[in-house]
Structure 1
């Protein structure tokens, strides 16, 4: 598993238990994430603690805190599964950033670097998140104002050969 890496602007490492309240603020700042995940603005710390504990206990799952490299200020969260039992593929569970950091290219920076690492270090040849449409699923918890859509696409991206 990849449990630490750095990009040009971001340091990714495991979240320590005492940092969870700060990362809760990261989640609460992202209104769209809260809507599509069925959460509310008062997303409970207990849910984040449960997810964090599960990620730490499951050897095939990882939750990484994303920090501004120079200040180590929490900026986001990346979770991934080595093998999703539903379809057998590696998955990025979610990648979320503080709302005030959207539009700065951090998602692309982290994603591209992480995908390169998974290909080179883990030998992954594809990963599911947001790339090539491979499956359609209907979601019932999307908000009405989500452009009227209640369908999401499971996406896959092929990675370069690790050779």
Structure 2
């Protein structure tokens, strides 16, 4: 399977592999999204950007060469406004997994996330991937609406706690087949 390019564009954005000198900026952006943990029960990873840059955020038996952490920039200003992390080939070779997408809160509701993922989906179709997956916290209604609106609307499974309580959490894995 062909790898997603190190640099690619949409109408308003440039998406490119994270460089070492951007780790601090990306970590601050990741930490801005800490409110997500109210829905997924996770905790803030104070080394997230560095860990992704050096080791990757890998699935079981995953390899760093199939992992990408990319920054999303507004072309007009060259400002970093988002993060996209993905893994190619998990759990099957023809699967592309979207680990994490975050857009700076100052740029919410401008369609930037949709623009990035729509272009990514075009690449995946062109490169003959069989499916794309994303895992979403069940309590994260905005993300569920976002992903299902982009066609990741088949539930592959539920993971996490078996019953609902305020302090229990679960994820659904969404799939779009090509």
Corresponding residue for residue 29 of structure 2: 26
Unpaired runs of 5+ in structure 1? none
Specify whether residues 37 and 119 from structure 1 end up closer, same or farther in structure 2 by C-alpha distance, changes over 3 A only. farther
Structure 1 length-normalised TM: 0.80
- Following superposition, the deviation at residue 55 of structure 1 comes to 3.4
> CA offsets, 1:83-142, max 9 Å, x none?
12xx3232011111112212211111110110101211x2112110142111111159xx
Q: 2:72 touches 2:82 (CA, 8 Å); kept in 1? A: yes
> In structure 2, how many angstroms separate the alpha carbons of the residues matched to 1:100 and 1:82?
30
Corresponding residue for residue 7 of structure 2: 4
| SS of match in other structure, 1:39 | coil
Which of the numbers 142, 156, 162 marks the counterpart of 2:175? 156
Specify whether residues 95 and 116 from structure 1 end up closer, same or farther in structure 2 by C-alpha distance, changes over 3 A only. same
Corresponding residue for residue 53 of structure 1: 54
Specify whether residues 34 and 19 from structure 1 end up closer, same or farther in structure 2 by C-alpha distance, changes over 3 A only. farther
> In structure 2, how many angstroms separate the alpha carbons of the residues matched to 1:62 and 1:37?
24
> In structure 1, how many angstroms separate the alpha carbons of the residues matched to 2:68 and 2:86?
5
- Following superposition, the deviation at residue 24 of structure 1 comes to 1.2
> CA offsets, 1:54-101, max 9 Å, x none?
2397111111111111111111111111112xx323201111111221
> In structure 1, how many angstroms separate the alpha carbons of the residues matched to 2:36 and 2:26?
14
| 1:39 aligned onto 2:39 | no
- Following superposition, the deviation at residue 37 of structure 1 comes to 6.8
Corresponding residue for residue 75 of structure 2: 69
Specify whether residues 34 and 22 from structure 1 end up closer, same or farther in structure 2 by C-alpha distance, changes over 3 A only. farther
> In structure 1, how many angstroms separate the alpha carbons of the residues matched to 2:25 and 2:97?
25
> In structure 1, how many angstroms separate the alpha carbons of the residues matched to 2:121 and 2:80?
21
Structure 2 length-normalised TM: 0.74
Q: What is the count of residue pairs matched by the alignment?
A: 148
> In structure 2, how many angstroms separate the alpha carbons of the residues matched to 1:124 and 1:158?
9
> In structure 2, how many angstroms separate the alpha carbons of the residues matched to 1:38 and 1:150?
9
